[in-house]
Structure 1
Amino acid sequence: MTFSPFHIAVPDEALDDLRSRLSRTRFTTRSGDEPWRAGTDPDYLRHLVSYWLDEFDWRAREAELNALPHYQAQIDGQRLHFLHVPAVRPAGAPAPPPLLLSHGWPSCFVEMLPLADRLTDPAKYGGDPADAFDVVVPSLPGFLYSDLPKGPLTRAAMAQVLHRLMTDVLGHHRYGAFGGDIGGVVSGWLGALYPEQVAGIHMIHAPFPASFDARPLSPAEQAYLDAEAAYDLTDGGYSAIMGTRPDTLAAALADSPAGLAAWLVDKYRDWSDNHGDLENSFDRDTLLTIITLYWTSGAIGTSFRQYLDFDHNSPRPDITVPAAVTLSTEPAQAGLPRELAERACTDLRHWSEPGRGGHFMPLEEPELLAGEMTRFFTSLRPS
């Protein structure tokens, strides 16, 4: 199975249309006196749209992205976009397993770039060059430049596509997998389905078991599940509409770049470790690079598909490969006890609660995460 180079090339006409739409944005007023309490703050959105229109340089960001090794492969007739970044490693140094880095929603491959840079070239950051990894960063099926596969978009289906990328397309006989959010769940499925090829998995969102029937819940587990259910009452509106009326929402977001920005920025602020200021975690150029990729690829609607198809997911088998968790600090993970993850992972070798870094930890804390991943995956080198 072959793959070919890929370049991001947004037509001038598409950028002209984007600017025209931004210049004609109709803004809302805030609901109540407290900024962000009811969603993306209109005042912040005005500033972001103004910056997007007058100062953000997409062509410069496009050139930076195209300096990286992008490819596309055909898997069962569907296009899959990915980056394949080789390690900067001394000749003759024993190679750690190549790593697959998988993003979640509302993210994309850009989230993984600071992490990938540190993993492929640790010497640039004061690390041991012998610990450099080859890294593969896909756009998950349905995201940006990757097509939806045939059939329901389940976590298992995504894992099957990514496994074929690593083995059939790239020829890796053994590899490690990392992810957060959807990418973390997919990494869990990879470990469960392909233990002979998957050396280990690392996640920032601890996996749940397929069932809690094996033993009674501990007080810590019950307290966490109760707290998570309470939090979902305040945060779950986005997934409820994307899982029940995705086409209605997508029609609005595909027609309004400001609306798209508001929908994505809401989650970047809520789920990151930003201490109340979104731009403590992300600069505007990074946010607008991600938002512009969603806008110009037209993929916001297909990124919702795995929510609509959620009920097609089957119970995941136990994860038997070596596993590691560096726990995100976002509200949905607060208080999650290790014993809950041990119900899903029979070989949980590393558990860390660093106390910083949220849902988008590869962007927020790439140095911390690269260190934890390097220690875990280098420990899995063959003797």
Structure 2
Amino acid sequence: MTITPFTISVPQEKLDWIARRLRDANWPTQATGDPWAYGASVPEMRALVEYWLNQYDWRAREAWMNRFPHFHARIEVDANPYDIHFIHVPGKGPNPKPMIVTHGWPGSFVEFMEVIEPLTDPAKFGGDPADAVSIVVPSLIGYGFSSKPAKPIGPRTIARAYDILMREELGYSDYVAQGGDWGSAVSGWLGYEGEGCSAIHLNFTFGWTNPDAKPETPEEIAAAQNLHNVWRVEGGYMAIQSTKPVTLDHAMADSPLGVAAWIVEKFHTWSQLKDGDLWSAYTRDQIIDNVMIYLVTETFGTAAWLYRGVADEQVPAGARVTKPVAVADFPGELGRFPRSTAEKSYNVVRWTEPPRGGHFAAMEQPGLFVDDVRGFLRQLRGAA
């Protein structure tokens, strides 16, 4: 076995460096009008940094993260070794279903901190023990406490590593994969070719797509045009990260404020907020936790590499996931497609439209996320 226990314990000198750089930061000029119109709001970021420096307690948050068991596993793919960080919590029930839940960018494993207990121990929350899940929450390779690859890799390589982790290291020969953002791409590959994956649940539908799937109906064409309009305004980060990510990292590696602004702006834009208020969906501690994972592990740069690595791992023409697929279409996603579009790439057996929530569904609406995953697993058990 290559699995070893892991405890998050960040050196104090790293925390001191982050605080010092935040205190000494040079701030940009705020344009008039909507403070978020041209990027991260300067007043909002100033307020967040003030909280970060004077009220946020990393050691307390670190202990909160460590309440779940963390591990590292050495996995080799194509003769390249990767150390994968993951949380593993066995389910408390008569026959827990194994499930691997994968985050995306600019998220991290902390997106799922509020859904782990309800999924693994439903009876504790007044639920049915038969719904218990044995959950594995990894950090993407190049992210967080997982190792950094020697060069950019894509979601297919990560999926192959995860399948080995689940089958050979954890002994889960029949598991479900769940994901949003890059997690949906990894889950798509697991559904397409993962030996142990029997079904997938997605809250994002265009991370893994059949390249031959073209919009045909008026609804599909309108959705594709909407996505084009969204990326025309919102896709600048992707253009940089998919071409010259190392150049960007020269700035970000030395600027905690820069990393925070780059990430916080996405949480503001991609979430379903009340009156545009970021704190209507998240707490400040949650957002800083997520930013800190990138900072304390120095992985902002290698996380961005995934946008470059995906170019070498294209989905084959005509490919389709034939295993059962569930899609939770949360209303706050900027780019949404009709079920007919998803069915060109996936065998969609369940399609739901939760009433609230956006791109970071598990973090934004943990209760709705748990209910949807649980509903799909019940459907799978009924089919079996």
**TM-score range relative to shorter protein:** over 0.9
**Residues 113 and 331 from structure 1, CA distance in 2 versus in 1: closer, same or farther, beyond 3 angstroms?**
closer
Name the CA distance, whole Å, in 2 between partners of 1:259 and 1:337. 36
Q: Which amino acid aligns with 1:180?
A: G
Residue of structure 1 in register with 2:327 after alignment: 325
Which runs of 5 or more residues in structure 2 are unaligned?
A: none
The residue identity in structure 1 corresponding to 2:326 is: A
Percent of paired sites with the same residue: 39
Alignment partner for residue 86 of structure 2, among 82, 85, 94?
82
Letter in 1 for 2:263: L
Q: Aligned AA for 2:216?
A: L
CA distance in 2, matches of 1:216, 1:13: 53
SS of match in other structure, 2:113: helix
1:231/1:331 contact within 8 Å kept: no
Task: Give 1:42 deviation, angstroms.
Answer: 0.3
Q: In structure 1, give the amino acid aligned to 2:167.
A: T
SS at match of 2:15: helix
* Structure-2 residue corresponding to 1:55: 55
What per-residue deviation string (whole Å, max 9, x for no partner) do you get for residues 148-168 of structure 1?
446641221111011111011
> Contact 1:96–1:377 (CA<8 Å) still a contact in 2?
no
Shift of 1:31: 2.2
Looking at structure 2, the residues matched to 331 and 233 of structure 1 have their Cα atoms a distance apart, in angstroms, of 16
Q: How many residue pairs were aligned?
A: 375
**Aligned mates of 1:199, 1:378 — CA distance in 2:** 14
User: Counterparts of 1:111-260 in structure 2 under 5 Å?
Assistant: 111-149=111-149, 152-194=152-194, 197-207=196-206, 209-212=209-212, 217-260=216-259
Counterpart secondary structure, 1:309 = helix
SS in 2 for 1:348: strand
1:378: Cα distance to partner? 2.8
Q: 1:100 to 1:19 in 2, by over 3 A?
A: same
Over aligned residues, Cα RMSD in angstroms? 1.6
- Quote how far apart the aligned CAs of 1:307 are: 0.8
- Partner in structure 1 of residue 291 of structure 2: 291
Counterpart Cα distance in 2 of 1:16 and 1:257:
12
Q: CA deviation at 1:147?
A: 1.8
Distance 1:175 1:151 in 2: 29
How far does residue 257 in structure 1 lie from its aligned partner after superposition? 0.9
2:359 is matched with 359
- One-letter code of the match for 1:198? C
Answer whether contact 1:110 1:290 (CA < 8 A) is retained.
Answer: yes
* 1:52 CA drift (Å): 0.8
**Runs of 4+ more than 6 Å apart:** none
TM-score, normalization by structure 2: 0.94
Give the 3-state SS of the residue equivalent to 1:332 in structure 2. Answer: coil
3-state DSSP class of the match of 2:153?
A: coil
Cα deviation for residue 177 of structure 1 reads 0.6
Q: Assess if the C-alpha contact under 8 Å between 2:115 and 2:370 holds in 1.
A: yes
1:372 maps onto 2:376 in alignment = no
Deviation at 1:290, TM superposition (A): 1.1
1:280 aligns with 2:280: yes
Structure 1 gaps of 5+ residues are none
Distance 1:368 1:42 in 2: 32
Superimposed CA distance per residue, residues 133-192 of structure 1 (whole angstroms, 9 cap, x where no aligned partner): 100000011101112446641221111011111011111110001000000111011010
For 1:37, the equivalent position in structure 2 comes to 37
Give the secondary structure class of the aligned counterpart of 1:304. Answer: helix
Residue type of the alignment partner of 1:325? V
In 2, distance between residues paired with 1:342 and 1:172?
Answer: 28
Name 2:108's counterpart in structure 1. 108
